[in-house]
Structure 1
Amino acid sequence: MAIELRWCASLLDPSFPAEHYEALRQRLAASTPFNHLGWLHAAEQALQPGQRLAVLLGWQGEQLRMCLPLVHSREAFGPVRLAVVRHLGYPLSDRIGLLNELPAAAAAQALRAIRRHLPHAVLQLNEIPDAQASTPWLACWARRSSTFERRLACRVPVHQISAADAQEVSGDPRYKLRRARKRITACGAVQRRVLADASNIDALLDAISAVEAASWKGDDEVGIFSGPQRRLWMYQALRALAEQGMVCLVLLELDGRCISYRLGLLERGRVYDYNLAFCPEYRELGSGRVLLDELIRWGLEAGWQHIDASRVSLDNSSHQLHERQSASIAHWRLSCCSWRPSGICLGLALRSWQWIKPRLRAMR
């Protein structure tokens, strides 16, 4: 059956095939909460001046088989600004599934369409999980790029929930948990589980965004609620996910006030541990580890299968799930440099830096 590629200017356009998109998302196991249409609607509304969205749709007959929402913008690379294309959701989407079930024979056709419609120096896809980063599609795109870079972004710890989680964890984490629980009990704080819905999500977001603003994330302006653009995005996205029962929180409250939290995004029995923060005056409580244990126990009772760290630092990650991980998932950043002069020059610069960087380290 013939493949037809079409462009759509917005996910919010009434002509966008939302029902077909959701059917595609449900068919593909690689889909994550960051592919949910509510999340992407919020991401689109948070785009900044100079960013342009274009959605590439792939059809076979009456069935939608591919949807790539792409953002075109200009970004600084050293002293120059170059045209870049990214998947909608960067940089706050922690794991993107490429929603594509077209045959590999369509890969070159899709890449040509992107390069014609969105001329760029580099097409960069961030936070692509291991299983998708080596597909025939991306192998085809790599062969048709002036330079292709596949760089490890992080290795995410994963905990498989099992009956053993009903028992107290063993080893050093046991003593850390016991000490933290004693401190929490001594100060009178209590834990609370909340599965957010439309009636309570705004109050929850107000509470946790206040905690983040008071934390080091707020001071450094790196939190998910930092700045008007991110705050708008998070409020709209998490409202949409909460309406679908996809937002779970474990809170630590003192005298009715939230002083620490973990925010998870839930889909298909997997919880993505997306964000946490605590008020600095209560840092000595060690609440993060206790709330993670509470999230795992909640998952055991609710029948969830996995808890992921969502995203961690590439080097020296301090995420507490490392203490209990049963597996890991690699995230990759894929860069496809075009054959435009700007893409060729950028590719040469990237290859040169890859050659120079290890030698600089050796000299140091």
Structure 2
Amino acid sequence: MMVRFEWRTSLCASDFPATAYEALRQRVADPTPFNTLAWLCAAERSLQDGATLHVLLGWQGEQLSLCLPLIALRERFGGLPFRVLHYLGHPLSDRIALLACLDAQSIRQTLWEIRRHLPHALLQLNELPEHPAPESALTQWMQLSSTGEHRVSCRVPVHRISDSDRQEVSGDPRYKLRRARKRIAACGAVVRRLTPDVLTMRPLLQAISEVEAVSWKGDKGVGIFSDTRHRQWMDDAFTALAAQGQVRVVVLELDGRCISYRLGLLEQGRLFDYNLAFLPQYADLGSGRVLLEEWIRWGLDEDWKWIDASRVSIHNSSHQLHERMTGQLEHWRWSFFSWRPGGLLLGLGLRLWHHVKPRLRQWQTKRAAAVATHTPVVTSVDKNITPSAKPMEGENASPSHSQR
């Protein structure tokens, strides 16, 4: 069946086909909370200056078979401005499903329609859990681009909830969990499960944002409430999702005050562990592991199937779910460079970088080995001299590790 394309400028308009959109979202494989209209409309209302929204709809008869909400903005590469398209939600990108139920020919037409309506140098889709198989729709887009790239942006730890979780975890995590529970019990703190609704969500967000503000995330300005634009996005998105019953929170309270929390979103039996923070004066409690264990126990009680990290760092991830994971899920970043001058230039730069990068790494490795070879080694010549029992200032200091 032929596809009829339609362009919109807003997902929040009163005449947007919300029912048809949700029907499409439920038809695709593994939809996520970050594909919901609640999340995307909140993202739209917090668009950064200079960004414009363009929503491509694809209809087959009366059925919506495609929805691509794209933001267009100018980005600089090598000091030069280029027009780039991203999926709505960038740069706070988390796992998304590609909302397209089309055949191969229609997928190719979709790319041509985007290029016709939105001339650009680069189209980039982040955090898609779609592996680049030969028959993939996005693989076809790469074949139609001047240059195409797909690479892993992160490997997300996932935990499949099973009856074995009713038993105490084994190994080193058991020791750490027992010690954390003892410390929490000693100070009198209690763990609570919360399922906020539209009335209680905003006061709860206020409480947890205050925790984040004084945590290391607040100090570095990397939290989800770190600025006014992101704060408005989170307030609107989580309030709307709470109205749909999709928000879950586990908190650690001391004298009625939240001192640590984990914030999650529930979609079809899969809990996305989205954000956590704790007050720095209670960092030694080890509350993160206890609250993660509470996610698992809550999942057993309510028959959840999975607990996922919604996103982690590609290198040196410190997400505590790594200790409990039963598998990993790869997120991919797809880049499609157009045949316009800007796309050709960026694509050439990318290919040049791929050519230079391995040689640069070889040079860095050799240089590091040479430096290590010529570094003098200081040893003690007097066996009667013992090191001081008192560490130097800062010797025992270690950075706090957490995840979004």
TM-score (norm 1): 0.98
1:156-215 CA distances to partner (integer Å, 9 max, x unpaired)? 111000111111100000000001111111111111000111121011100111111111
Distance 2:287 2:221 in 1: 22
Correspondence for 2:62: 62
Q: In structure 2, the residue corresponding to 1:90 is in which secondary structure?
A: strand
Correspondence for 1:238: 238
Correspondence for 2:139: 139
Distance 2:130 2:319 in 1: 20
Q: Is the 8 A contact 1:161 1:299 kept in 2?
A: yes
Correspondence for 2:23: 23
How many corresponding residue pairs? 364
Distance 2:78 2:166 in 1: 52
Cα shift at 1:144 = 0.8
Distance 2:355 2:216 in 1: 36
Distance 1:329 1:45 in 2: 30
Correspondence for 2:213: 213
Correspondence for 2:173: 173
Q: Is the 8 A contact 2:132 2:139 kept in 1?
A: no
Correspondence for 1:149: 149
Distance 1:244 1:271 in 2: 15
Q: In structure 2, the residue corresponding to 1:99 is in which secondary structure?
A: coil
Distance 2:306 2:107 in 1: 32
Q: In structure 1, the residue corresponding to 2:354 is in which secondary structure?
A: helix
1:26-49 CA distances to partner (integer Å, 9 max, x unpaired)? 122321000010100000000022
Correspondence for 1:86: 86
1:123-166 CA distances to partner (integer Å, 9 max, x unpaired)? 00000103577653111110111110101101111100011111
Distance 1:340 1:89 in 2: 25
1:219-238 CA distances to partner (integer Å, 9 max, x unpaired)? 11111111011000000000
Correspondence for 1:12: 12
Cα shift at 1:255 = 1.0
Correspondence for 1:114: 114
Aligned: 1:271 with 2:271: yes
Correspondence for 1:130: 130
Q: Is the 8 A contact 1:5 1:56 kept in 2?
A: yes
Correspondence list, 1:244-259, <5 A: 244-259=244-259
Larger Rg: 2
Correspondence list, 1:181-200, <5 A: 181-200=181-200
Question: How many percent identity over aligned positions?
Answer: 62
Q: Is the 8 A contact 1:129 1:330 kept in 2?
A: yes
The one-letter amino acid of 2:66's match is: M
Correspondence list, 1:87-106, <5 A: 87-106=87-106
The one-letter amino acid of 1:259's match is: I
TM-score (norm 2): 0.88
Q: Is the 8 A contact 1:20 1:63 kept in 2?
A: yes
The one-letter amino acid of 1:168's match is: E
Moved more, 278-287 or 230-239: 278-287
Q: Is the 8 A contact 2:83 2:121 kept in 1?
A: yes
Distance 1:238 1:189 in 2: 26
Moved more, 266-275 or 92-101: 92-101
Q: In structure 2, the residue corresponding to 1:30 is in which secondary structure?
A: coil
Unpaired runs of 5+ residues, structure 1, are none
The one-letter amino acid of 1:359's match is: R
Cα shift at 1:101 = 0.2
Q: Is the 8 A contact 2:53 2:69 kept in 1?
A: yes
The one-letter amino acid of 1:258's match is: C
Distance 1:326 1:130 in 2: 20
Correspondence for 1:281: 281
Correspondence list, 1:220-235, <5 A: 220-235=220-235
Distance 1:218 1:354 in 2: 36
Correspondence for 1:306: 306
Aligned: 1:53 with 2:88: no
The one-letter amino acid of 1:199's match is: L
Distance 2:221 2:68 in 1: 30
1:147 to 1:30, Cα distance in 2 relative to 1, 3 A: same
Bigger relative contact order, structure 1 or 2, given CA contacts below 8 A and separation 6+? 1
Distance 1:57 1:37 in 2: 14
Cα shift at 1:76 = 1.8
Aligned: 1:333 with 2:333: yes
Q: Is the 8 A contact 2:132 2:150 kept in 1?
A: no
Q: Aligned Cα RMSD in Å? A: 1.2
Distance 1:84 1:243 in 2: 34
Distance 1:164 1:242 in 2: 30
Distance 2:30 2:92 in 1: 18
1:311 to 1:264, Cα distance in 2 relative to 1, 3 A: same
Distance 2:30 2:123 in 1: 21
1:325-356 CA distances to partner (integer Å, 9 max, x unpaired)? 11111001110000111111101111111121
1:5 to 1:164, Cα distance in 2 relative to 1, 3 A: same
1:133 to 1:259, Cα distance in 2 relative to 1, 3 A: farther
